[in-house]
Amino acid sequence: MRKSSLLALVGAFAVAASLVIGPAASAKPAKVNQATAGTVVIIHDQEPPTMRGSWEDNNLLATGLVTNNIWYGCEIYNNFAKFVPRLCAAKPKIVKRSPLTIRFTYKKSAVWSDGKPITAKDYRATWKVFTNPHNNVVSRTGWEDIRAVRGTGKTVTVVFKKPFADWESYVAGGVYPAHIIAGKDMNQMFQSSIPVSSGPWKFQSWQKGTQITLVKNTRFHAWKPMRFDRVVFRYILDTNARFQALRAGEGQAMQSQPQLQIADFLKDRKFVVERKPDIAYEHVDLQFGAKGHPALKKTFIRRAIATGINRQQIADALYRTISPGLPALNSLIYKPFEAGYVNYWGKQYPFNQARVINILKANGCTGGPDRPSASNNDIFSCPSVGKLSFRFFTTTGNQLRALAFEIMQRQLKSVGIELQARFQTGGVLFGTTLPSSDWDLIMFTYGQTPTSKITAKDLYACGGDQNYSLWCNKKASALLNKVPLTLSAAARTKLLHAAESQYIVKAVPSIPLYSRPAFTIHSRTLRGPVVNPTTEGMPWNVSDWTS
């Protein structure tokens, strides 16, 4: 090669290298896992589609993580899923039972970031937003049960049309600023920005596809102010990239779904992993309708299935590395950390394979094994319902769910019950299959709130809005339908326990598996983040965060 050509090639290489080395060299060397002074970066997977939560296109946890500290509530859920006052001077109180009348008072220091005070006018304006049929909100439940909102100052009086047990959820939440939304089309408001805040941070900017930046609300004095100057949510869709970015110090904190990568962070002393059972729980529904397998209409078969699944083994197998000791869930209504949690399912259906075979044989089923065996291929057939071979539906592309199915399949095959996999995308499963009730067994997660038990009727009462199992027991329904109308928490607990212990557990319309664990991972140099199993998410106590 000629010397000049060689020199030209070297020169070209040097130019290219400078483009690489230059920016890299000028990048500030980041100290290992330390938050940049004044800024904390939270890495998350899903970016909100808009800043307008509670709308039909935006019922996402991802949005709430950003907006919960902007639309700050009279109360918020703490990490024990209990309401604690924030903008309100004290917890809202029932002042009259009939008609149900609630009263609460905003603190004098509760003001919007533009200086205007937060008053009853804002609560009234919010109520009107959710009851306006023109607005495409995702749910009017609760709001449409309010008859009147009285008051103009800091004290708000809410009068309900009828007894409404879940009233606290509807008075505790954040409100919209009446002076900002007056006369505006709410379907167009808050798409890409929010001009004011009532909470510890306020919206600054949104670089779509990359990050949302929030800054300290210097006018927030109703509770502890945020210590950081800035919180940035960085959005990284790919799971591996998210964890790598956390390792590489591109963020200091992350709220994570159960992922196997968490195991590495448990061993890494530079990080702290907090975990707690979530309100969301994994379960298996059984079909009672005409499109389901006729065998599932027989109680003894459903009980045999419940007895043949080792739920604790599934929880251990799935979460041994990332959440060791996760217990099986033993109630369809209460979670392990809630007062009122009783072990119904563990006592009624302890795992016992020999017992499954005995139950089936005692009811005339034949063709199955005499003893449980891992190599068994014989499947029971029962009188008038045929072979116990069931279509098992769940979502595809989820490692943990696929493993859970495999374990269940083997456990039940050992005792002569067959499960056939039917994995579908979420869109098909929840959009078409589930509502059509054309399935035998279906496994998925119910995302819930701490007050979801008040509306357990939607899942288990006859004709419930989300009762896709089509189970119908009139006595259970009567108990469950009373719950939303019962104001006393103790009385509600009694009703729910009666419904579950006397009817639901015995009928087995659904089998609880485990409460999904919730995780937060943060750099050890960042202090303060605590797992919150509710939709408040990890930023619920951002005012306590320090570095």
Partner 1 sequence: MLTYIARRLLYSLVVLIAASFLVFTFVSVSGDPLAALRVTPNVHPDIIERIAERKHLNEPIVARYWYWVKDAFTNKFGTTLLGDRPILPDLWRVMKNTLQLVIAAELIALTLGIGIGVYSALRQYSFFDYTGTTFSFLGLAIPVFWFALMLQVGVVKIYEWTGHRIFPIANLSDVDPGSGIHFVTDRIHHLILPVLVLMIVNMATYSRFMRASMLEVLNSDYVRTGRAKGLPERKVIMRHAFRNALITIVTLSALSWGGLLSGAIITETVFSLDGMGLYFVNSLLSNDPYPVMAFLMITASSIVFFNLVADVLYGVLDPRIRYD
Residues in region 431-450 near partner 1 by CB under 8 A: 431-432, 434-435, 444, 446-449
Q: By C-beta, is 249 or 416 nearer to partner 1?
A: 249
Could you tell me the smallest distance in angstroms from the CB atom of residue 508 to partner 1?
A: 21
Count of beta carbons in the 10 Å neighbourhood of residue 162 = 11
Q: By C-beta, is 55 or 540 nearer to partner 1?
A: 55
Count of beta carbons in the 10 Å neighbourhood of residue 402 = 15
User: How many binding residues for partner 1 (CB under 8 A)?
Assistant: 71
Kindly report the three-state secondary structure assignment for every residue of 400-467: HHHHHHHHHHHHHHCCCCEEEEEEECHHHHHHHHHHHCCCCEEEEEECCCCCHHHHCHHHHCCCCCCC
- Residue 283 class from Cβ within 10 Å (0-12 exposed, 13-18 middle, 19+ buried)? middle
CA distance to 28, 214, 237, 241, 246, per residue, from 211 (Å): 20, 10, 12, 15, 15
User: Which string of x and - marks every residue 453-492 that binds partner 1 (by CB under 8 A)?
Assistant: --x--x------xx--------------------------
Beta bridge mates, 137: 55
- Asked if residue 184 binds partner 1 (CB under 8 A), the reply is no
Q: By C-beta, is 50 or 525 nearer to partner 1?
A: 50
- And the tokens for 155? 């004290």
Options 208, 267, 269, 474; binder of partner 1; rule CB under 8 A: 208
CA distance to 261, 277, 281, 520, 534, per residue, from 531 (Å): 18, 10, 16, 6, 9
Options 3, 15, 20, 115; binder of partner 1; rule CB under 8 A: 20
Q: By C-beta, is 164 or 349 nearer to partner 1?
A: 164
Residues 52-71 that bind partner 1 (CB under 8 A): 55-59
Q: By C-beta, is 34 or 312 nearer to partner 1?
A: 34
CA dihedral 156, 159, 164, 169 (to 10 degrees): -20
- Asked if residue 136 binds partner 1 (CB under 8 A), the reply is yes
Residues 337-396 that bind partner 1 (CB under 8 A): none
- Asked if residue 94 binds partner 1 (CB under 8 A), the reply is no
Options 229, 250, 406, 438; binder of partner 1; rule CB under 8 A: 250
Could you tell me the smallest distance in angstroms from the CB atom of residue 403 to partner 1?
A: 22
Options 10, 94, 95, 138; binder of partner 1; rule CB under 8 A: 138
Name 165's Cβ contacts closer than 8 Å, sequence gap at least 6.
454, 483, 484, 485, 486, 487, 492
Stretch that binds partner 1, among 148-156, 208-216, 489-497, 520-528 (CB under 8 A): 208-216
Residue 430: φ, ψ to 5°: -85, -25
Q: By C-beta, is 88 or 434 nearer to partner 1?
A: 434
- Asked if residue 29 binds partner 1 (CB under 8 A), the reply is yes
Options 339, 427, 474, 490; binder of partner 1; rule CB under 8 A: 427
Cis peptide before 517 (omega within 30 of 0): no
Stretch that binds partner 1, among 80-88, 196-204, 239-247, 384-392 (CB under 8 A): 239-247
Q: By C-beta, is 33 or 330 nearer to partner 1?
A: 33
DSSP H or E stretch at residue 512 = strand 510-523
Options 90, 94, 248, 491; binder of partner 1; rule CB under 8 A: 248
Options 236, 295, 407, 531; binder of partner 1; rule CB under 8 A: 236
- Asked if residue 140 binds partner 1 (CB under 8 A), the reply is yes
Could you tell me the smallest distance in angstroms from the CB atom of residue 148 to partner 1?
A: 22
What DSSP assignment string belongs to 224-249?
A: PPPSSSEEEEEE--SHHHHHHHHHTT
Residues 503-542 that bind partner 1 (CB under 8 A): none
Could you tell me the smallest distance in angstroms from the CB atom of residue 41 to partner 1?
A: 6
Q: By C-beta, is 176 or 243 nearer to partner 1?
A: 243
Residue carrying structure tokens 């016992």: 352
- Residue 477 class from Cβ within 10 Å (0-12 exposed, 13-18 middle, 19+ buried)? buried
Amino acid at 351: F
Q: By C-beta, is 73 or 151 nearer to partner 1?
A: 73
Residues 142-181 that bind partner 1 (CB under 8 A): 142
Options 218, 240, 343, 488; binder of partner 1; rule CB under 8 A: 240
Residue-wise burial string across 432-442, b where 16 or more C-beta atoms lie within 10 A, e elsewhere: ebbeebbbbbb
Nearest residue to 169 (alpha-carbon basis) of 75, 87, 79: 75
Stretch that binds partner 1, among 210-218, 280-288, 381-389, 525-533 (CB under 8 A): 210-218
Residues 196, 110: Cα–Cα separation, whole Å: 13
- Residue 59 class from Cβ within 10 Å (0-12 exposed, 13-18 middle, 19+ buried)? middle
Stretch that binds partner 1, among 90-98, 118-126, 132-140, 351-359 (CB under 8 A): 132-140
Residues 50, 57: Cα–Cα separation, whole Å: 8
Stretch that binds partner 1, among 240-248, 344-352, 360-368, 530-538 (CB under 8 A): 240-248
Could you tell me the smallest distance in angstroms from the CB atom of residue 245 to partner 1?
A: 4
Q: By C-beta, is 58 or 113 nearer to partner 1?
A: 58
Could you tell me the smallest distance in angstroms from the CB atom of residue 235 to partner 1?
A: 7
Name 26's Cβ contacts closer than 8 Å, sequence gap at least 6.
none
Options 207, 218, 321, 399; binder of partner 1; rule CB under 8 A: 207
Residue 346: φ, ψ to 5°: -65, -35
Could you tell me the smallest distance in angstroms from the CB atom of residue 352 to partner 1?
A: 32
Spatial contact of 83 and 75, defined as CB atoms under 8 Å apart: yes
Options 86, 121, 219, 234; binder of partner 1; rule CB under 8 A: 234
Name 477's Cβ contacts closer than 8 Å, sequence gap at least 6.
457, 460, 461, 462
